[in-house]
Copies of this chain bind each other. A is one copy, B any other.
Amino acid sequence: MKSSSGIPKATVERLPRYLRCLEALSPLRATISSTDLAKLSNMNAAKVRKDLSHLGTYGVRGVGYDAELLRFQIKRELGLTREWDVIIIGVGNLGSALANYGGFVNRGFSIVGLYDADMTKVGMRMDGRIIRHISALESDAGRDGISIGVITTPAEVAQDVATLLVDCGVRSILNFAPAELDVPDTVHVRQVDLATELQILSFYMSGGTPEAIDA
């Protein structure tokens, strides 16, 4: 099945990987072949070509893709040619790490607010932003609009925070707390489990052979 823009869901999930590889290329590199992009992204070339064909883009035989154009097309497809306002709820170690993560700026995301329930943190400045009490979220959201709420609270309060975000009109949630969230169908939730990648490494250490070829 396709998303409404006609791109298979599995392709959507691979586009960030291609984009990251393209962004790591030398700016002097004008073109990239599907074979090279496949190597960099640990995929196979046929899959890369098929994924990119969903963007309506085809490489030139023997030359490859225009690297800058391809970056633009992926960004446009992912909605990264505009900027999304992101807030982080829960300014513990993980929330602080995300607030300071260099990988968000210039990549379509602007962290516009940090919230915590801990009064000893409220009012502290972090990377130019002042941590606000969670009770201020509702009025802030009404004034500013918020695109994405990132939950980095303890698991026990994640559902309450998600409910508050939904009540404040937030329609996209990235949840790092190890808790399943119950939200209306109109809200998009991505659950991040930091153990996932370790578990995949474990598979390969247990005798699985890593393949350049994606099944």
Contact = CB atoms under 8 A, between A and B. Distances in A.
Interface stretch (A7-15, A64-72, A131-139): A7-15
A64 to B, nearest CB: 19
A208 B197 CA distance: 26
Q: Please tell me how many copies of the chain the complex holds.
A: 2
A206 interface: yes
Contacts of A86: 198
Contacts of A61: none
Say whether chain A's binding surface is mostly helix, strand, loop, or mixed: mixed
Contacts of A28: none
B93 A100 contact: yes
Given A4-B208, A102-B178, A172-B205, A148 B215 contact: no
A27 interface: no
Interface residues of A, number: 74
27 contacts: A1-B214, A3-B209, A3-B211, A4-B209, A5-B208, A7-B208, A9-B210, A9-B215, A12-B203, A12-B208, A16-B196, A17-B196, A19-B199, A20-B191, A20-B193, A79-B202, A80-B199, A94-B97, A102-B155, A102-B178, A103-B193, A107-B199, A109-B195, A109-B202, A172-B205, A190-B197, A190-B200
Interface of A: 1-5, 7-13, 15-17, 19-20, 24, 44, 77-80, 84, 86, 92-94, 96-98, 100-104, 107-109, 147-148, 150, 155, 171-172, 174, 178, 180, 188, 190-211, 213-215
